[in-house]
Amino acid sequence: MFLEVSQLRVRYPNRPQSAVDGVSFGLRAGDIGVLIGPSGCGKTTLLRAVAGLEPVAGGEIRLGGTVIGSAGHGVAAEDRRIGMVFQDYALFPHLDVGRNVAFGLHRLPVSERAARVAQVLELVSLEGSQAQYPHELSGGQQQRVALARALAPQPQLLLLDEPFSNLDVDLRERLAHELRSILKAAHATALFVTHDQQEAFAIADVIGVMHEGHLHQWDDAYTLYHRPATRFVASFIGHGVFTNARIVEQDGHVTVRTHLGPLTDMLECPLPSAYPEGRCDVLLRADDIVHDENSAVKAQIMRKSFRGSEFLYTLQLKSGDTVMAHVPSHHIHNVGDWIGIRAAVDHVVTFAREG
Ligand code: ADP
């Protein structure tokens, strides 16, 4: 692994709890890792520790095989060859684009600087903009200049902390895809922080889900969604609810009994022995619930929100249980209507029952 974080702990002197606690993961050269989690879960603190801006209280950080941070030891931030992009682009307003981008190139011979500036500006699709000033550019363009500036000195690792959070939603999504292409073209290894799932999915090779200073899972998007390691990951990624279930085995067939009726035709399911008496909670995602007027199971629409090609319905069963369902938007139903639903679950994800 190119970046290796082991059992990392970071704490602030004025707070009893560690902001980052026992976090371990590895990032391969050329990969883009994304840290996601609710506000205050420790994403920025972790990034700052990797950058050398916060001291390490325990564990270690290795970059290219060298320990750059451990308790009581840290390579100075300016010697780590790490580039950074933050949400407030922090361009120098009085310097033109060319000088902004050249800012970190003082180690490069003067004769080569202009060529490097032109090269990275082309990479971010802003070729020829050297003489413009930041105030003449849009927010998205300014953020691309900030990215060019961070890439110019060819850092070993690029850290990006919510770089799009000041931009409007449409632009964010486009920039997320652009950013991935730019980083891949630059063969950069990058660690990106966001609280936005769509952004994480658009950019990441691998995603880490954080909660209260802990890293719950470090995996690709598909695995996070289909095999969440903890209840927190299951509820944070994608839309879903937990429902009481009982796994039973009869005549060699495993069935999962739920308020929605029995789940059958599963590709994967734990055995009843995994839980006391087979009792557990099953994760039901909105795409596990199918609208089917012929189904005996009925549910009432409590809420609906438009998602373009589909609606996301929040439904309540007679038992009082709530589930969510994606329903194509040409099906017209109103809040309060009862509709037939059926569960179609390939991979049954279960957790020990809570409480
Ligand atoms: P995130 O980036 O996920 O929103 P942070 O890393 O900023 O989370 O914060 C993690 C925890 O550390 C939070 O509880 C936050 O209040 C605390 N924290 C962040 N910065 C400081 C600081 N400079 N001094 C004390 N506590 C801090």
**What pTM, to 2 d.p., does this model score?**
0.88
Q: Helices 139-151 and 110-123: crossing angle, nearest 10°?
A: 130
Q: Quote the pLDDT of residue 355.
A: 64
CA of 351 to the centre of ligand 1 (A): 30
How remote is the CA of residue 14 from the centroid of ligand 1, in Å?
A: 11
pLDDT tens digits, 245-276: 999 998 888 899 998 888 877 778 888 899 99
CATH classification code of 239-351? 2.40.50.140
Mind listing the pLDDT tens digit for each residue in 65-110? 999 999 999 999 999 999 999 877 689 999 999 999 999 898 888 8
Rg (CA), the chain: 24
CATH homologous superfamily for 3-232? P-loop containing nucleotide triphosphate hydrolases (3.40.50.300)
Helix (H), strand (E) at residue 51:
helix 43-51
Give yes or no for residue 40 CB within 6 A of ligand 1.
Answer: yes
- Structural tokens at position 304: 């609906």
The continuous run of DSSP H or E covering 127 comes out as none
How far the first Cα of the chain sits from its last, in Å, is 39
- In the predicted structure, residue 338 carries a pLDDT above the cut 80: yes
Q: Please give the Cα distance from 236 to 245 (Å, whole number).
A: 21
Categorize the per-residue pLDDT at 164 as very low, low, confident or very high, splitting at 50, 70 and 90: confident
Closest CA to 137 of 101, 96, 168: 96
User: Which residue blocks in 93-211 are alpha helix, DSSP H?
Assistant: 97-102, 110-123, 139-151, 169-185, 197-203
For residues 240 and 233, the answer to whether their CB atoms sit within 8 Å is no
Q: Which range among 11-25, 148-162, 258-272, 286-300 shows the weakest confidence by mean pLDDT?
A: 258-272
**For residue 145, pLDDT beyond 90:** yes
CB 328 within 8 A of CB 308: no
Instruction: Tell me the pLDDT tens digit for each residue of 207-243.
Output: 999 999 999 999 999 999 988 999 999 989 987 889 9
Nearest ligand 1 atom, CA 42:
6
Q: Do domains 3-232 and 239-351 have the same CATH topology?
A: no
Burial (CB count within 10 angstroms: exposed 0-12, middle 13-18, buried 19+), residue 72: exposed
Tell me the torsion sign for CA atoms 265, 253, 295, 286: negative
How large is the average pLDDT for residues 43-65?
Answer: 96
Token representation of residue 174: 């486009």
d(CA 102, CA 118): 10
Mutate to test the pocket of ligand 1, among 10, 11, 12 (most ligand atoms within 8 A of CB): 12
Q: Whose CA is nearest to atom 1 of ligand 1?
A: 40
Spatial separation of the C-alpha atoms in residues 90 and 144, rounded to whole Å: 12
Q: Which residue has the tokens 């050269």?
A: 29
- Atom 12 in ligand 1: residue holding the nearest Cα: 19
Cα–Cα dist 47/85, whole Å: 11
Cα–Cα dist 150/168, whole Å: 22
Q: Name 314's bridge partners.
A: 303, 324
Q: Is the CB of 45 inside a 6 Å radius of any atom of ligand 1?
A: yes
In the three-class reduction of DSSP (H, G, I as helix; E, B as strand; rest coil), residue 176 is classed as: helix
Q: Could you say which DSSP state residue 12 is in?
A: -
Q: Print burial letters for 235-268: b (CB count within 10 Å at least 16), e (below 16).
A: ebbbebbbbebbbeeeeeebbbbbbbeebeeeee
- Number of Cβ within 10 Å of residue 217's Cβ equals 21
Whole-Å CA distances, 355 to 239, 280, 352: 22, 11, 9
**What pLDDT does 89 receive?**
64
**pLDDT at res. 159:** 97
Q: Is 14 in the pocket of ligand 1 (CB under 6 A)?
A: yes
Pocket lining: 36 vs ligand 1, CB cutoff 6 Å:
no
Supply the pLDDT for residue 309.
Answer: 82
| Percent of the chain topping pLDDT 90 | 67
18 CB less than 6 Å from ligand 1? no
How many A from CA of 218 to the centre of ligand 1? Answer: 21
Question: Percent of the chain having pLDDT more than 70?
Answer: 99
Give me the residue spans of the domains in the chain: 3-232, 239-351
